[in-house]
Structure 1
Amino acid sequence: MKSYLKHISVYLPDRNVTNEDIAEMFPSWESSKIFEKVGIKNRYVADSKEGVADMAVAAIRNLQLETGIDLSQIDYFLLCTQSPDYQIPTTACIVQHRVGLSNNCGAIDINQGCSGYIYGLSLASALVSSGIANNVLLVTADVYSKHIHNSDKGNMSLFGDAATASLISSDGKYEIGKFSLGTDGSGYDKLIIKNSGLFSKSLNQDDPENFLFMDGAGVFDFTAKRIPQLIEENLVLNGLAKDDINLFVFHQANTFMLNFLRNRIKIEKNRFLINMENYGNTVSSSIPLAFKDSFDGENRNVMMVGFGVGLSWGAVVLLNK
């Protein structure tokens, strides 16, 4: 059985943080310098009382409004997040109850980041293709802003919060092709919150190891080496050439990295989507958020590419025949 990406809906928090807002906090970090460095002007940030479950619920409500879907038709619910409301239980279970998904609906969390949408899409596609489910709801939601130290102007400038809801079904607009997935756990510490699990060592709330750390140079080096090869592998797997792809949608890491990759892989600007200027890096939501505005366009073949925390990577081609 074939699987299809049927619809994408988006939720953004109300609070919008501009480069000028950040520059006020760090006078030496001028707003023009922020845009020059990361290519971002605005990012949406969840308020102090807004968590992943709240954002996931809002994204699902938008999906209901935009598609008219009866949520009783959802057979399986996947929630991709690295900032769950609780360590136990899974946030997916909380959201299942709050939105009224059937008690016969499976509901699990996926702890994955920048490649999370591709990983989640691979699981959703497998559930539909195998006949286990007819309709899978894949939600991405992260609040990295809550894990950034208030003196970390770099990550504060880069990351934004968002949630998306995708419907994967046995019918729809984009047929989901074959996946290329990979992991190199030797780079696990390139993007990490060290004091965030069983082996947390510090009770000092202001300890930097309680907050997000990113080795930007290490992540860039990994991406520059691995992603061009990933593109080639996935094209071959799907029996396509680079010129057969009408639109490339990469994880929106930062504009410098995206333009570097586009030039290295030799993709024309009009076939390469960059739309993070007003959203920032929204982690697992960045790919569906970027693609949302193009979903109903005339794109025939779309390649989605995720990469980052883990270290992990993934690519898939969507076919609009």
Structure 2
Amino acid sequence: MIINEIFVIGLMSGTSLDGIDLVYVKFDKKNYKNFTIIHSQTIAYSKQWKQVLQHAIHKSEQELKDLDVAYGRFLGATINNFISNYKIDVISFIASHGHTVLHQPKKGITLQIGAGKEIAKITNAKVVCDFRTQDVKLGGQGAPLVPVGDELLFSDYDYCLNLGGFSNISFKLGAQRIAFDICPVNIVLNHYVSKLGFQFDDKGAIAAKGALNYQLLDKLNELEFYQKEPPKSLGLEWVQKHVFPLIDALENDIPSILRTFTEHIAIQISKIINSDSVLITGGGAFHAFLINRIECITKIKISLPSQEFIDFKEALIFAFLGLLKIDNQVNCLSSVTGASKDHSCGVIFYP
């Protein structure tokens, strides 16, 4: 094996609960931009795991500790299956984002379950995880973390926009990389379309048939979060407190909710981007109606990357964040999170 080649398994579980995204990627340590995604796979959650993760926010402290261990063992078994299925025999380390259950950085709280100790034990590999806690302790938002990857791997684009459970964006402002959460996306859209028996609104077809509720749209756009300056980030708690009650009070027709919230997303994103040099990834990139509304409002023509890139960019970047941590290099930017300093985040566990 060439010493400059590093082989990493990266995994990501997003707030929209689509499943676990796994990548097996090769990095060239002489030039990080020379990376290759060798294998990639999304493992859908069972109905039971989906329910557990959806309601984890309501569990007691001890129940969360137990869930952290149980979910870590589940991730370890899932990774072993991935390794076996693709006959992977060289692994430098595993980088796991875990699954975010709690995120209230102002209170000094963030929790991503998926115990690294358990993953290391089950896979017999070195594991990097818990990427957010240190940043919150340093006064930061603990999010978003992907912008370091945007800066070092995808600097050819003016904007890197992720449309996942939440939309977040990163871009260069002067000499600094700026990034922040824009608004909820799939965490809201999937919540309501599930009431019709669907996991997601395929291409936004249901939203496209709904009617705009202008009163709801105005109320959504007036939410206090949108007036705040970055750094700023969102969590499920905020959605449950501010978004769901507002929607439920003003609209009960599901297609109209989807239509109105899609418009809300497009409006919020259009306030940020003003160039067609934008890399869009995340499940929301497949929401053709949302992409169309962004194009209409911004008057920008959007070109989407390959499906593999859309699906697995975040898992790829967490693999990269792990590489930076292993090498004790900065992988978390204070200009992005608001922490007191740039730092190397993550915790390393050994088998």
Q: TM-score range by the shorter chain?
A: 0.3 to 0.5
Give the helix-richer structure, 1 or 2.
2
